Structure formats: structure tokens, C-alpha cells
């Protein structure tokens, strides 16, 4: 037989466990976008700044791309975009592994990197990568 006090304690422990496990289980399904970190990258003639971007797998990020030039550039890395979860509302901004950013415009994409590795980044506009518009994304 358990005393009323023991029963109460067991209930409290159970409630505590539910409280601890509940949010963790929810986080496994949907990323905690409110905890995201903003990574700002400037695109210009003809470079990415910074050109080396370091991210952590499993963490939510807002990739903020700002084009300082008067004509378009893109942020292209098919391997990287194939290895991330992009927030549904932003998925249309990434086409064939690249994000186009018009002159003087900015584009934000929220994503969670899934696979550790180093990914090559470049602008696919004619000759831009040969002018030095390249970089890398490292996911740790």
C-alpha cells in the first residue's frame, strides 16, 4: 500500500517527466525557429562576404543574403541545399540549389543544416566565379 504522500510524489515525478520530454519531442519534429541565429552574407562584385560560413548541424539559421551591387548575383550550392531542411515558406526561394538575389535586394531563407561537411559556394552568373565569387560553407 502506498501512502497518499507517496502517490502524490509519484504523480509529481510523472508530471515532471511529461514536462521535460514534451518540448524535446516537439523539437525533434519542428525546428525551434524562434531560437534561430541570423547569418548575414553580402554579395557584391565579385565576392561573398564572408566567403567562409560555418554552421552547426541541427541548429536553425536565418540566412540573410544582401546584394550590394546594382545587378543580380546568386548564392549557389546545390550540395548544401540538398543537405538542409528549408522552412516551408522559404522553399520557393531556392531553385535548383541556388538563391537569386536581385540588385540592391535582400533575401532571407530559414533552414537547418542536416549533414556535416564542407560545401562549395559560388555565384553562377556568367564569369562571376572566375572573378572570385566563390566561397565555402562548413557544417560541423
Does position 47 interact with Cu ion (CB under 5 A)? The reply is no
Tell me the DSSP string of the chain. Answer: ---HHHHHHHHHHHHHHHHHHHHHHHHHHS--GGG-EEEEEEEETTEEESSEEEE-TT--EEEEEEE-SSS-EEEE-HHHHTTEEEPGGGGGG-BTTEEEE-TT-EEEEEEEE-S-EEEEEE--STTTTTTT-EEEEEE-
Looking at the Cβ atoms of 37 and 44, the one nearer to Cu ion is: 44
Does position 87 interact with Cu ion (CB under 5 A)? The reply is no
Does position 139 interact with Cu ion (CB under 5 A)? The reply is no
The site map against Cu ion for 58-77 (x = CB under 5 A) is ---------------x----
Does position 128 interact with Cu ion (CB under 5 A)? The reply is yes
Instruction: By CB under 5 A, name the one of 123, 135, 137, 139 that touches Cu ion.
Output: 123
Query: Where along the sequence are the contacts to Cu ion (CB under 5 A)?
Result: 73, 123, 125, 128, 133
Amino acid at each position: 500500500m502506498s501512502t497518499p504522500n507517496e502517490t502524490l510524489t509519484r504523480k509529481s515525478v510523472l508530471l515532471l517527466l511529461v514536462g521535460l520530454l514534451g518540448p524535446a519531442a516537439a523539437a525533434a519534429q519542428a525546428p525551434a525557429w524562434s531560437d534561430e541565429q541570423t547569418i548575414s552574407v553580402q554579395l557584391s562584385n565579385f565576392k561573398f562576404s564572408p566567403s567562409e560560413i560555418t554552421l552547426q548541424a541541427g541548429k536553425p539559421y536565418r540566412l540573410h543574403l544582401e546584394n550590394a551591387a546594382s545587378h543580380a548575383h546568386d548564392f549557389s550550392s546545390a550540395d548544401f541545399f540538398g543537405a538542409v531542411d528549408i522552412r516551408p515558406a522559404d522553399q520557393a526561394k531556392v531553385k535548383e540549389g541556388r538563391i537569386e538575389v536581385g540588385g540592391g535586394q535582400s533575401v532571407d531563407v530559414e533552414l537547418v543544416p542536416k549533414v556535416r561537411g564542407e560545401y562549395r559556394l559560388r555565384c553562377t552568373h556568367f564569369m562571376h566565379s572566375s572573378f572570385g565569387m566563390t566561397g565555402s560553407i562548413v557544417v560541423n
